[in-house]
Amino acid sequence: MLSNFVKKLFPPKDIIGVDIGNYAVKIICFHEDKKVLKLKDWGYIPLSIKPDTSPEEKKAIISQEIKTYLKKKNIQAKYTAASVSGNAVIVRYVKLPKLTKKELDLTINVEAEPFIPFDIKDVNLTYSILNESTEEGDPKIDTVLVAAKREAVQDKIDMISGAGLDPLIVDVDSFALEALYSRLAPKTENNTVLMLNLGQKVTNLSIVSQGVTRVVRDIFIAGATFDKAIAKVLKIDAAAADAAKKNRSVLVTDEDKQAAIESFDREGIAVSKAAVGVLKDLYTEVSRSIDFYLSQGTDHSISRIMLSGGMSNLGNITKFLAAEFKVPVEVVNPLAFLSEMPKNIPADVLPALAVAAGLALRKMKDWEE
């Protein structure tokens, strides 16, 4: 009763998820009305920042782009969840000696140091206790350690503040994706899913078994790697390669290849060959993570692969990966849990909104504690 009254006086504020990627800024804001979640605002701002731009200039340009967009669309939400990924962050699932939360708060830097490849002074370190277990008779706790470089976190805070928003939380791309996937697939689902968020500089990989994340890793094979490979074979620049990959498909079956040969599509064949080379490297890296996961003595093998990120639009990528990994592959609709699907979002923008959607699902209470 009282809590309802308090809620009326102080309605929960909407959180805006802002995913500042290397290729585009993605924005999502949900609003809950009578327990029904609706999409309030969304945005996709492609960035075309010249390679010789200084980091400070780059930050200022991004802030300005976001600010202009918010104004143009009359987006009112202020409280923002942003995120870091790639080489700015390390996530490790480790067993530590059993300590209470209080004890661990005091000793976490010492306990975590061997697992963190950065200088512990340069990172923001957080952890979460997942489980208790025993190892050779000794009581242990299973924890997830997250170390994010202070500088990278500060950069995101600066860009968000510079856009006139209030940076409430800086999350990790993989955790935002985890939040999204637990909405999309109920935790009880009895399977193991491999998630690949294919962006411009990084591919975020997670293996989630029955709702519990087992492996989190960022792989540096993504859109830019495809651009480089395509630019090399076609002797064009990266921007032209970026456009070429949007118009082309990976030739997977013999029929696909035969059709390309018969129509003398030399450029299409070259783009496909370059893309296949990159996809094979990606396959090798992803397979390593699958092997690592399987070596932990699990009896669950990967049952399906879910793709998100802009690169999941590459023509025939699902067909190619399904043939390589021999499991079903699908592209995620990050808004599939809404009762009403917004109609005005272009099909190729939708999978790129995954991280922003996961960020926007954060609630005030997530960081009020």
Ligand X SMILES: Nc1ncnc2c1ncn2[C@@H]1O[C@H](COP(=O)(O)OP(=O)(O)OP(=O)(O)O)[C@@H](O)[C@H]1O
CB neighbour list of residue 227: distance below 8 Å, 6 or more residues apart: 238, 241, 242, 245
C-alpha to C-alpha distances, 362 to 4, 74, 355, nearest whole angstrom: 21, 22, 11
Distance of alpha carbon 93 from the chain centroid: 18
Q: Is 23 in the site for ligand X (CB under 6 A)?
A: yes
DSSP annotation string for 75-119? ----EEEEEE-GGGEEEEEEEEE---HHHHHHHHHHHHGGG-SS-
Q: Which of these ranges, 20-28, 104-112, 276-284, 324-332, lies near ligand X under the rule CB under 6 A?
A: 20-28
The number of beta carbons lying within 10 Å of the beta carbon of residue 139 is: 11
Q: Is 199 in the site for Mg ion (CB under 5 A)?
A: yes
Among 17, 21, 43, 268, binds Mg ion (CB under 5 A): 21
The number of beta carbons lying within 10 Å of the beta carbon of residue 323 is: 12
Query: Which CB sits closer to Mg ion, 312 or 318?
Result: 312
The item of Mg ion, ligand X, none sharing an interface with residue 201, based on CB under 5 to 8 Å by kind, is ligand X
The item of ligand X, Mg ion, none sharing an interface with residue 70, based on CB under 5 to 8 Å by kind, is none
Distance of alpha carbon 162 from the chain centroid: 23
Query: Which CB sits closer to Mg ion, 167 or 199?
Result: 199
Query: Which CB sits closer to Mg ion, 177 or 275?
Result: 177
Q: Is 218 in the site for ligand X (CB under 6 A)?
A: no
Q: Which residue is nearest to Mg ion (CB)?
A: 199
In total, the chain counts a number of residues equal to 369
User: At CA 254, angle to CA 317 and CA 232, rounded to 5?
Assistant: 55
Among 24, 75, 84, 215, binds ligand X (CB under 6 A): 24
Mask of contacts with ligand X, 255-294, x by CB under 6 A?
Answer: ----------------------------------------
Query: Which CB sits closer to ligand X, 220 or 292?
Result: 220
DSSP annotation of 130 reads: E
Q: Could you tell me the smallest distance in angstroms from the CB atom of residue 15 to Mg ion?
A: 18
Q: Could you tell me the smallest distance in angstroms from the CB atom of residue 298 to ligand X?
A: 28
Parallel, antiparallel or unpaired: strands 203-209 and 192-198: antiparallel
Q: Residue 283: helix, strand or coil by DSSP? A: helix
Among 193, 216, 352, 360, binds ligand X (CB under 6 A): 352
The number of beta carbons lying within 10 Å of the beta carbon of residue 44 is: 19
Tokens coding 240: 């032209």
Q: Which of these ranges, 18-26, 28-36, 131-139, 295-303, lies near Mg ion under the rule CB under 5 A?
A: 18-26
DSSP annotation of 310 reads: G
* Contact yes or no for 31/363 (Cβ under 8 A): no
CA atoms within 13 A on the CB side of 75: 29
Query: Which CB sits closer to Mg ion, 203 or 272?
Result: 203
Query: Which CB sits closer to Mg ion, 201 or 319?
Result: 201
Mask of contacts with ligand X, 230-249, x by CB under 6 A?
Answer: ------------x--xx---
Q: Could you tell me the smallest distance in angstroms from the CB atom of residue 238 to ligand X?
A: 10
Q: Is 201 in the site for ligand X (CB under 6 A)?
A: yes
Parallel, antiparallel or unpaired: strands 123-135 and 192-198: unpaired
The number of beta carbons lying within 10 Å of the beta carbon of residue 339 is: 7
The item of ligand X, Mg ion, none sharing an interface with residue 167, based on CB under 5 to 8 Å by kind, is none
What gap in Å lies between CA 197 and CA 177, rounded to an integer? 8
Q: Which helix (DSSP H) or strand (DSSP E) does residue 168 occupy?
A: strand 166-172
The item of ligand X, Mg ion, none sharing an interface with residue 17, based on CB under 5 to 8 Å by kind, is none
Mask of contacts with ligand X, 293-322, x by CB under 6 A?
Answer: ----------------xxx-xx--------
Site for Mg ion in 173-192 (CB under 5 A): none
The binding site for Mg ion (CB under 5 A) comprises 21, 199
- List of residues contacting ligand X (CB under 6 A): 21-24, 199-202, 222-223, 242, 245-246, 309-311, 313-314, 348, 352
